[in-house]
């Protein structure tokens, strides 16, 4: 009887974990200033073709509303890879929509370099097309002129 109850409890716990809200995985939303400070402290640069950070202009690079987990993810990538990392896209308008979108704070774009390319291809699992998945489940998509990274 105890064994059966324990089995039911384990199944219930597994189901609860499996259906937990994915939005909680990203952490809290950060201001542009707070996110930029965390990137700078980690030695991560960022650039904007429009030389601006206005979230509502597609030529800007904004971090307004980016998830703390996304910032932690790119900082971890920088430390692990030991590559120069430059963010080229954040939460600004102009990207595709969806739950795990740039606008919702789950994605960053970074510049392509031979170091970044090599690290991703050596350390992550190829999942088809131009995509690789890290052990943590994050997806790195080579879009030709930048890496589009989704942090879950």
Q: Is residue 10 part of a domain?
A: no
- In angstroms, what is the C-alpha Rg of the chain? 18
pLDDT in the model for residue 10: 38
Q: Is residue 7 part of a domain?
A: no
**Helix extents (H) in 26-67:** 32-41
Residue-averaged pLDDT of the chain:
88
In the predicted model, is pLDDT for residue 87 greater than 90?
A: yes
**Structural domain for 53, as ranges:** 25-150
Query: How far is the CA of 139 from the CAs of 41, 74, 131, 134, 146, in angstroms?
Result: 24, 12, 7, 7, 13
User: What pLDDT, in 10s, does the model give residues 91-146?
Assistant: 999 999 999 999 999 999 999 999 999 999 999 999 999 999 999 999 999 999 99
Average pLDDT estimate for 2-22: 38
Nearby residues of 99 by Cβ (< 8 Å), 6 or more positions away: 22, 23, 106
Average pLDDT estimate for 29-55: 97
In the predicted model, is pLDDT for residue 18 greater than 60?
A: no
In the predicted model, is pLDDT for residue 19 greater than 70?
A: no
pLDDT in the model for residue 25: 58
Q: Is 87 helix (H, G, I), strand (E, B) or coil?
A: strand
Least confident span in 25-29, 66-70, 119-123: 25-29
Average pLDDT estimate for 50-66: 96
Q: Is residue 15 part of a domain?
A: no
Average pLDDT estimate for 62-68: 98
Q: Is residue 69 part of a domain?
A: yes
Q: How confident is residue 26, by pLDDT bands cut at 50, 70 and 90? A: confident
Q: Is residue 66 part of a domain?
A: yes
pLDDT in the model for residue 1: 54
In the predicted model, is pLDDT for residue 23 greater than 50?
A: no
Q: Is residue 46 part of a domain?
A: yes
Q: Is residue 124 part of a domain?
A: yes
Q: Is residue 8 part of a domain?
A: no
Total structural domains in the chain? 1
pLDDT in the model for residue 16: 34
């Amino acid at each position: 009887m105890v064994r059966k109850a324990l089995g039911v409890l384990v199944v219930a716990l597994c189901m609860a974990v499996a259906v937990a809200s994915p939005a909680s995985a990203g952490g809290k939303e950060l201001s542009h200033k707070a996110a930029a400070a965390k990137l700078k402290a980690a030695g991560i640069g960022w650039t904007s073709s429009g030389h601006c950070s206005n979230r509502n202009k597609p030529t800007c690079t904004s971090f307004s509303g980016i998830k703390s987990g996304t910032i932690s993810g790119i900082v971890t990538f920088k430390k692990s890879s030991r590559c120069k990392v430059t963010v080229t896209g954040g939460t600004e308008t102009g990207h595709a929509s969806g739950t795990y979108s740039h606008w919702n704070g789950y994605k960053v774009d970074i510049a392509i370099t031979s170091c970044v390319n090599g690290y991703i291809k050596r350390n992550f699992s190829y999942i088809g097309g131009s995509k690789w998945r890290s052990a943590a489940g994050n997806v790195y998509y080579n879009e030709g002129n930048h890496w589009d990274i989704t942090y879950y």
